[in-house]
Chain A
Amino acid sequence: MASVQRSRPSVRAMGVVMAAVIAAVAGLAGCSSTGGKRAEEARDQAASGKANVTTPRWKVAMVTHSGDGDTYWDIVQSGAKQAAAKDNIEFLYSHDKEAGRQAQLVQAAIDKKVDGLIVTLAKPSAMKNVVKKAVKAGIPVVTINSGQDESRDFGALTHIGQDEVMAGEAVGRELNDKGRKKAICLLHEQGNVGHEERCEGIKKTFDGKVEDLYVDGTNMPGVQSSVEAKLQSDKKVDTVVTLGAPFAATAAEAKKDAGSDAEVDTFDLNAKVAAGLKDGSIGFAVDQQPYLQGYESVDLLWLHRFNADMLGGGKPVLTGPQILTKKDAGKLETFTKRGTR
């Protein structure tokens, strides 16, 4: 609105002002002596490998149900890429959070005649036909992350992931050990099956009460104020469990503003969670090692092709739950910052 007035003295004048500000900014060259890119460059980089196998360049596609800009899948990808680099594999990644479109992406991968396929089965029924089609076409399929119950039926070689219910159960037990009485399960995506399962798992093992709280994950201030509101309205709540790493820090902020002494615990991991574990604002994190899911699935497909190997013995290969606390925080901080944990 201020710009309504600002724009009055003609566009040219505005341009002059802009140019002046840019010049001022450049002239100031106001540098920060702390943090930033320079500090990062000083830190160690994640090792990037080069191929050290003799197999020809195979093509492996990964198709996930990730939404745009999801940190979690970012880590899965970097794991997969690391393995692909090592195994001389051309790695193709695509994603769509809508099951129908995800299925189309799988079809596209089949059409490309890939040598291996990695899919997530967030909505198994929608993926059933296309996965079976891939198997029929002779493409080895590995499922990751979600769909461990359906993986075998659909003809996949194995499933690499975390049982969401089991992960929830682990959280419930951990909360029991800590003597917690009432927890909030913070769901940031309404209608996500995996999220529901996590909360369900907590309810199974936790002796106290669990209440679900739904928030809109794309609106951080909305998440914060909803948690705040919940903590204000129910003083008995002593634990907030977030289902995604980015929401843990927000919940911690909300807890502070609401003046509550509830503990924030979270599923998944990122740099902020690691920092939170370190400074005590986050109690513990349950990790399912996304890097491992990506790395292992690609590597396994290579092994399968190279040596007809397979993991799991017909059962899912579990990458979690792994409970991380303050004592793990030190090394995790480095790993999360480079985007591999």
Chain B
Amino acid sequence: MTNETEANESGPDAKGPNAKGPVETGPDETGPTATGPTATEPGDGEPRDGEPKDSEPLVSLSDVSKFYGNIRALEEVSLQVHPGEITCVLGDNGAGKSTLIKIISGLHQHDAGSFRIQGEETRLGSPREALDRGIATVYQDLAVVPLMPVWRNFFLGSEPSVGRGPLKRLDVQQMRRTTHRELLRMGIDLRDVDQPIGTLSGGERQSVAIARAIHFGAKVLVLDEPTAALGVKQSGVVLKYVAAARDAGLGVVLITHNPHHAYLVGDRFVLLKRGAMAASYEKEGLELEELVRQMAGGSELEELSHELER
């Protein structure tokens, strides 16, 4: 309950440093309470933005573990997310990818290890809190509400409003225009932002979700299997947007089980296997073949071939 109360007030605060958000909505915002995006978070905003140190990762996990009862879902996993870089998390089904995501996005809390956001030890209580700290997560199949119009989806959870008191209402004009413009910026030219988002293609829906995260000033974008359900062409479209997000200076966590997609855009690679970290690479010196081999089973595959030989 309590965190939801916070959510109400801190909604637009999620529009962080990414200049577009506040500048656009700023003049229209008259409501003094829940809508003060012009004042970019005074306390915690400063040290982060002011710090030019590139070496400091936006998000860093070291030896993070998570238990469900006595089942070990995640064991001593470490990874780093830097601004303008894409960190790929690869792994088969059940490798612990989704557990990892849930920890980063605030749905679950880790049981051991350290989770730092911009150097600060953190324990996220809710997805809202993660959003407020600049971490936006785009889930594979539940990124959007299919029956709702595109513009309502775009602003869901962080709706700008005008007026005050009982007359406080959604700034519908602003929402429609912003949605259209932001999508255009991503290269999606929607004829009609009023259409239910369910009528868009899978790739477009992912892209809207990504555009939304960028617009609301996410510093870290967590993408859960964005290409899993998509065809080759649509996957290419989505990867383009992922790259666009990176170029916009965001740190991206790309969860995938497709090494080809990962290799195309990734800067760092973390391989998960049965909840544990199997390998970690940097882009330099890494061959696609190695990644594919590791994903296809790697050493396990060799063991298997030994067994079969016997």
Contacts and interface: CB of A to CB of B under 8 A. Distances in A.
- Is chain B found bound to chain A in the same assembly? yes
B1 A8 contact: no
Interface in B225-239: none
A11 B166 CA distance: 19
A155 to B, nearest CB: 65
A181 B2 CA distance: 70
Contacts of A8: 8
Interface in B1-47: 1-2, 4-5, 8
A10 interface: yes
- Top 7 A-B pairs, shortest CB-CB distance: A10-B5, A11-B1, A8-B8, A10-B1, A5-B166, A10-B2, A9-B5
A78 B79 CA distance: 78
A8 B166 CA distance: 12
A82 B5 CA distance: 59
Contacts of B166: 5
Interface residues of A, number: 5
Contacts of A9: 5
A154 to B, nearest CB: 60
Interface string B123-166: 00000000000000000000000000000000000000000001
B219 to A, nearest CB: 29
Contacts of A5: 166
Nearest to B4: A10
A8 B5 CA distance: 8
Nearest to B1: A11
Contacts of B4: 10
Nearest to B34: A8
A2 to B, nearest CB: 10
A5 B5 CA distance: 13
A242 to B, nearest CB: 45
Contacts, number: 8
Contacts of A10: 1-2, 4-5
Interface in A1-56: 5, 8-11
Contacts of B2: 10
A187 B153 CA distance: 52
A10 B1 CA distance: 8
6 contacts: A8-B8, A9-B5, A10-B1, A10-B2, A10-B4, A10-B5
A9 B8 CA distance: 9
A148 B166 CA distance: 65
Contacts of B5: 9-10
A168 to B, nearest CB: 56
B226 to A, nearest CB: 34
B89 to A, nearest CB: 37
Contacts of A11: 1
A5 B166 CA distance: 9
Interface string B205-220: 0000000000000000
Nearest to A5: B166
A11 B4 CA distance: 10
Interface in B158-190: 166
Contacts of B8: 8
A11 B2 CA distance: 9
A10 B34 CA distance: 14
B31 to A, nearest CB: 13
Nearest to A10: B5
B5 to A, nearest CB: 4
A18 to B, nearest CB: 16
Interface string B67-111: 000000000000000000000000000000000000000000000
A162 to B, nearest CB: 59
A8 B8 CA distance: 9
B128 to A, nearest CB: 14
Given A10-B2, A10-B5, A11-B1, 5 more contacts: A5-B166, A8-B8, A9-B5, A10-B1, A10-B4
A5 B2 CA distance: 17
Q: Chain B CB within 10 Å — which of A5, A8, A10 has the most?
A: A10
B6 to A, nearest CB: 10
A8 B1 CA distance: 11
A132 to B, nearest CB: 61
A5 B161 CA distance: 15
B158 to A, nearest CB: 16
A86 B132 CA distance: 76
A28 B2 CA distance: 33
A309 B144 CA distance: 80
A199 B304 CA distance: 87
B253 to A, nearest CB: 33
A10 B8 CA distance: 10
Nearest to A2: B166
A48 B4 CA distance: 58
Nearest to B8: A8
B157 to A, nearest CB: 15
Nearest to B168: A5
Nearest to A8: B8
